[in-house]
Amino acid sequence: MTRPRRNPIPYLALLLVLAVGIGGGYALAASKTKTITVCADKKTGILHLHNRGKCRRTQTRVTWNQLGPQGPQGVQGQPGTPAVSIWANVTNAGALFGGQGVSVQHVSAGTYEVTITAAACAHGSNAPVVTVADTNPPGGQLAGAFPVAWYQSTGINQQFMVFTGVVVSGSFTPTDHTFTVMDTCM
């Protein structure tokens, strides 16, 4: 029993259309002309790209620009994140060794009173970022000890407390440490 032989022409035509479409897309993107011209089949609406730009009687020529006219100006975007308004590098004794818009007073072991002095921050609220700078384990501490730092509001605008210390075996001990403080004064 013989199988009926299938006509390969539709398959070849499909393969040809795909090859022309893929290659034609690249050619259109790389071309120097300002327009794209294709032929649309009047019955099916399928688009055909012809190298010579001539369409058959059963097709309609369609042309459009690669680049359209300039559109209207878009809506203004949201303002970006503000830059850091204040910052300070503070020694373990409470002295500033770099920074702007901050004063620091060493109150006791591991306790510092920080006051924001920048005029631009006078009406803002504070959400400072505090980082402790020390080796791990901190100098003079056993292995497993690590330095920590955090801040606490004093209830007074532009003023907060910074606490530094060491955690060893789950217990906190206040100790003086070099730290950095930053705030955007939002």
Give the residue-averaged pLDDT of 37-62: 83
Hey, CA dihedral for 166, 161, 102, 110, is it positive or negative?
A: negative
- Taking the whole predicted model, whether its pTM rises above 0.85 is answered as no
- Give dist(CA 143, CA 137) in Å, integer: 6
Q: Which of 40, 34, 31 has its CA nearest to residue 66?
A: 34
Task: Give the list of residues 6+ apart from residue 179 with CB closer than 8 angstroms, or none.
Answer: 89, 90, 112, 130, 131, 132, 133, 149, 162, 164
- pLDDT, one tens digit per residue, over 83-142 is 668 899 999 899 998 899 999 999 999 999 999 888 878 776 777 899 987 666 666 777
Domain positions in the chain are 10-65, 86-183
- Give dist(CA 40, CA 113) in Å, integer: 77
